[in-house]
């Protein structure tokens, strides 16, 4: 069973924010899509573009380098050049803390 670890506070990630956090020495993103929080890998599955500098459209995160978009609900790559899904992680909120299980 996965263990959840605190990576940020809810106050760090207001609606529309893409917050870069760290878990076990690796970067991950906490994204607030209209009040709904998601946790995912920080790097694009195409050529490791920095998704923290990407743009958010609803629950879709778009890479700043070549424009691939990922659905944060599933990780699905919605358009090329990326075709590998983005890793997304279970997340809980307890007492204002965002906790993530990386698997
Ligand atoms: S690195 Fe993200 S689309 Fe190319």
Q: What percent of the chain clears pLDDT 70, i.e. is strictly above it?
A: 98
Strand intervals (E) in 1-103: 5-9, 18-23, 26-33, 36-41, 55-57, 60-62, 69-71, 88-89, 91-94, 97-100
Q: Which of 51, 55, 81, 85 to mutate to test the pocket of ligand 1 (most atoms within 8 A of CB)?
A: 81
Question: Ligand 1 in contact with 43 (CB < 6 A)?
Answer: no
**Model pTM score:** 0.95
CATH, domain 5-100, list 1.10.3720.10, 3.40.50.300, 3.40.50.11890, 2.102.10.10: 2.102.10.10
Question: Scanning the structure block, which residue is given the tokens 């050529």?
Answer: 47
- List the domain boundaries for the chain: 5-100
pLDDT tens digits along 39-55 = 999 999 999 999 999 99
């Amino acid at each position: 069973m996965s263990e959840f670890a605190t990576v940020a506070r809810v106050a760090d990630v207001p609606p529309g924010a893409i917050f870069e956090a760290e878990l076990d020495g690796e970067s991950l993103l906490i994204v607030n899509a209209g009040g709904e929080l998601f946790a995912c890998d920080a790097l694009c599955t195409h050529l490791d573009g920095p998704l923290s500098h990407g743009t958010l459209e609803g629950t879709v995160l778009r890479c700043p380098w070549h424009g691939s978009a990922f659905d944060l609900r599933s990780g699905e790559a919605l358009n090329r050049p990326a075709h590998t899904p983005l890793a997304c992680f279970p997340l809980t909120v307890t007492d204002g803390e965002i906790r993530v299980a990386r698997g």
